Amino acid sequence: MRSRFDEQLTRLNQALIEMGAMCEEVIALAAKALADRDPRLAKKVAPLDGEIDRMERDIEAMCLRLLLQQQPVAGDLRRVSAALKMITDMERIGDQAEDIAEIIPYMESRSGEECAAVGEMAKAAIHMVTRSVDAFVHRDTDLARKVIAYDDVVDDDFDRVKAALIGLIAENPADGEYALDLLMIAKYFERIGDHAVNIAGWVVFAVTGVHPGEEPA
């Protein structure tokens, strides 16, 4: 019975790795579409988000079968429960990448250092998503905590982008619509970082039984 349960956990891990990789791909595609100002590339994001939605449903079904058929307890129960929480955040990552892609066709065909700064946010967000899923698969709480701490980098990047765009509007009000579109995109990348933090938090819970938000100061 235990060997069968371990096999199912292995399949669950693999499914989470694949869903995490798809999240990385969809973020990177949205970021490239932004950098290249390529509406055709942006249109490729929605089908990938649809695939992420399908993966969420499949993994949810896998987790529910584990809970009903194997009735895990203690650490195993936390691990499956954490996976259920994680896929919700990963599905939202796909949604926000699609939100970014939907803005791109309405932006002017231009790029500047503001776009480059948002591109750096995208790289940081991909880094966080990758590491958070790795932390779950390897039950690595140290890595999970590094992801949580790394969110400060993304938040600082967002503050810098926001300040730059506010300055851009002040200098040239005609750039207002462009700046607001780019600010919204930056906010979506910042939210993707938040979802990676949530995933990492559930990793810590799965291993220790205590969520980082509940730990004593």
Range of the domain at 119: 2-214
- Return the pLDDT at 72: 79
For residue 114, the model assigns a pLDDT of 67
Q: What is the pLDDT of residues 161-197, one digit of tens each?
A: 999 888 888 988 888 888 889 999 999 999 999 999 9
Mean pLDDT lowest among 68-72, 86-90, 191-195, 198-202: 68-72
**What is the length of the chain?**
217
Residues 6+ apart with CB under 8 A from 144: 132, 135, 136, 200, 201, 203, 204
Can you tell me which residue has the tokens 């810098």?
160
CATH number of the domain that residue 122 is part of: 1.20.58.220
Number of structural domains (the chain) is 1
Q: For residues 21-42, give the mean pLDDT.
A: 91
Give per-residue pLDDT as tens, 48-67.
Answer: 999 999 999 999 999 999 98
* Backbone φ, ψ for residue 72 (5° rounding): -65, 155
**This prediction's pTM:** 0.91
- pLDDT tier for residue 213 given thresholds of 50, 70 and 90: confident
The alpha-helical segments, DSSP class H, found in the chain are: 2-36, 39-42, 45-65, 74-103, 113-138, 141-171, 176-208
